[in-house]
């Protein structure tokens, strides 16, 4: 597996083709998710993707926000335990389908660990969040296949 760091930006405007995902551990109590989403709203930080994984005593909420820095501040102010990881945001269209992504990654022997929809646009492409075995290699493959990969700057701003 290649573990070379992915550059964040260059002098020519290269933007990293990854998104920051926050896996947040919440007590499984009525109203906790609402409380958390309200905190994002109050801080003008838009949640652009979310997946909820529930257990009997807690839930793990996977969140991609339009501002990693803003999300980090919200979670810190709430005193919530969370883990940050990088994921891929990818746009889908007639020529770039989810089944084709699966095929391209399979040919490279990469597994998709999990996937969930990216939302927030009133118009525009369907988009997915993907967590893969080797982020760097997956980004290289999808770029070569001309998929549109999304960075934080591509996500809708609060109020859009």
> Over the stretch 70-91, which tens digit does the pLDDT of each residue have?
999 999 999 999 999 999 999 9
CA-CA-CA-CA dihedral for 40, 41, 43, 49, to nearest 10: 40
pLDDT of residue 121: 67
Domain that holds residue 119: 86-154
Q: What's the CATH number where 101 sits?
A: 3.30.2130.10
80 lies in the same domain as 137? no
Distances in whole angstroms, Cα of residue 104 to Cα of each of 94, 113, 141, 142: 16, 15, 7, 8
Asked which of 45, 60, 85 is the last residue of a domain, the reply is 85
What are the tens digits of pLDDT across the range 41-75? 999 999 999 999 988 888 999 999 999 999 999 99
Residue 107 lies in a domain: yes
Residue 159 lies in a domain: no
Asked which of 85, 101, 116 is the last residue of a domain, the reply is 85
If one counts the domains in the chain, the total is: 2
Residue 150 lies in a domain: yes
Q: How far apart are CA 78 and CA 68, in angstroms?
A: 15
79 lies in the same domain as 56? yes
Sign of CA dihedral 127, 123, 16, 39: negative
DSSP 123: S
Other CB atoms within a 10 A radius of the CB of residue 77 amount to 11
What are the tens digits of pLDDT across the range 100-138? 999 999 999 999 999 999 986 666 679 999 999 999 999
CA-CA-CA-CA dihedral for 89, 93, 95, 99, to nearest 10: 60
Which of helix, strand or coil describes residue 47? strand
């Amino acid at each position: 597996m290649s573990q070379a760091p992915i550059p964040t930006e260059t002098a020519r405007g290269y933007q990293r083709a990854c998104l920051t995902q926050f896996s947040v551990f919440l007590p499984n109590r009525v109203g906790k998710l609402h409380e958390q989403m309200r905190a994002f709203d109050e801080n003008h930080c838009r949640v652009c993707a979310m997946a909820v994984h529930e257990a009997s005593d807690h839930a793990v909420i996977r969140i991609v926000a339009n501002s990693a820095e803003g999300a980090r501040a919200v979670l810190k102010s709430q005193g919530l335990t969370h883990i940050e990881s990088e994921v891929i945001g990818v746009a889908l269209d007639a020529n770039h389908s989810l089944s084709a992504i699966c095929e391209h990654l399979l040919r490279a022997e990469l597994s998709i660990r999990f996937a969930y929809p990216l939302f927030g646009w009133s118009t525009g492409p369907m988009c997915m969040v993907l967590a893969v075995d080797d982020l760097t290699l997956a980004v290289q493959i999808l770029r070569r296949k001309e998929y549109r990969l999304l960075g934080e700057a591509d996500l809708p701003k609060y109020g859009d």
